[in-house]
Amino acid sequence: MNKTPRVCVWHVQGDTYRDALRERLPDAPIEAINAATHETGEAVLSAPDSRPGADHAASLIADALSSAEILLAWKVPPGTLTNMSALRWVQVTGAGVDHFLESTELPATVLVTRSLGRFGIQISEYVVGYLLHHLIGINTYREKQRSHEWARNERPLLADRTVGIIGLGSLGLPTATALTTLGARVLGVRHSGLAVPGIDDVFSATSWRNMLPACDALVIAAPKTVETVGMIDHGALDALPEGTILINISRGELIDEDALLEALESGHLGAAVLDVFDTEPLPEDHPLWDQSRAWITPHIAAPSEIEVIADEFANNYRRYVAGDPLLNAVDRGRGY
């Protein structure tokens, strides 16, 4: 390892990340490659009609990749990692790392770390906000305002509700804490099933379906792994009480979308708040767009904050140079 290992930043806001890192790590050689979209990670080369410019940009990218020992990125396009012969460590700018772990191009010897940012706070605000929006009936009162109607609905309390959370990690646990602070009864699922202070009951990876009949709301906060893909299927949705609110802030692949649509169309689910999908962006002709019980946001429940992520990365970079264990290291066998 070099005393000043080279860093390649690959991101939609690559230049901004690079500048933030250079402030924190003035002696580190850092290059940035700007991606066109979060979803694909494809690099921005130049205007389509500027072939020489595109060739030059491609050459600069190739040079940055071949010499980089460290990669800071959200997502990179296929073929990128195979050109990074010096790569020893990848830090992902978000909490989810499945797109790197699933890549056959990433050598088993490469360290992978994830960022924690303030994602737990952001997710808890998102979840609590939508639950209160639904329980208070804010949309209903907005409609009554438009028609100049003074009429009261029932005012159910979150404190009288039971919320199940699948995944009690860096996203699920802060959400559980926020909900218990408001008086809600919280049940949870973690792989081991071991008790967690403040959670009424914790279920394991093999017993989690036993939790579902007790839930007034279900929050999906588990990582995407072989075990969790498709876990919210017809059986799981049928086990939920009628009128349950489902919130997914994890990965779209954890939910069987056909089963979800059926549960929404039948009215079995009271609402589904969805920030993540099998395919992103969600195709324009996808039936979820027109489903009145679905609430769709474009993967914004927990956006990465550059200054916060830069602080995390700079801290880990110093540890890497010193030969100390990296923070937030991913267990590639477990998938998180």
Confirm if 25 and 1 have CB atoms less than 8 A apart. Answer: no
pLDDT score of 168: 98
Torsion, CA 286, CA 292, CA 293, CA 296, rounded to 10: 50
Q: Which residues are catalytic?
A: 251, 280, 299
Give counts: helices (H), strands (E), the chain.
9, 12
pLDDT score of 45: 65
pLDDT score of 58: 77
Residues in a beta bridge with 33: 10
Confirm if 59 and 51 have CB atoms less than 8 A apart. Answer: no
Strands 111-113 and 201-203: unpaired
Q: How many C-beta neighbours within 10 Å does residue 336 have?
A: 20
Tens of each residue's pLDDT in the chain, 336 residues: 568 999 999 999 999 999 999 999 999 999 999 999 989 899 986 444 445 555 656 777 888 899 999 999 999 999 999 999 999 999 999 999 999 999 999 999 999 999 999 999 999 999 999 999 999 999 999 999 999 999 999 999 999 999 999 999 999 999 999 999 999 999 999 999 999 999 999 999 999 999 999 999 999 999 999 999 999 999 999 999 999 999 999 999 999 999 999 999 999 999 999 999 999 999 999 999 999 999 999 999 999 999 999 999 999 999 999 999 999 999 998 999
Report which of 26, 32, 24 is spatially closest to residue 7, judged by C-alpha positions: 32
What span, in angstroms and rounded, lies between the C-alpha atoms of 12 and 17? 9
What span, in angstroms and rounded, lies between the C-alpha atoms of 327 and 323? 12
pLDDT score of 126: 98
Q: What percent of the chain stands above pLDDT 90? A: 91
Name the strands in the sheet holding 294-296, side by side, starting at the edge strand that comes first in the sequence: 201-203, 185-189, 162-166, 217-220, 244-248, 269-274, 294-296
pLDDT score of 63: 87
Domains of the chain: 7-117+304-322 (3.40.50.720), 119-296 (3.40.50.720)
| The amino acid at 272 | A
pLDDT score of 184: 98
pLDDT digits (tens, 9 = 90+) for 75-86: 999 999 999 999
pLDDT score of 49: 46
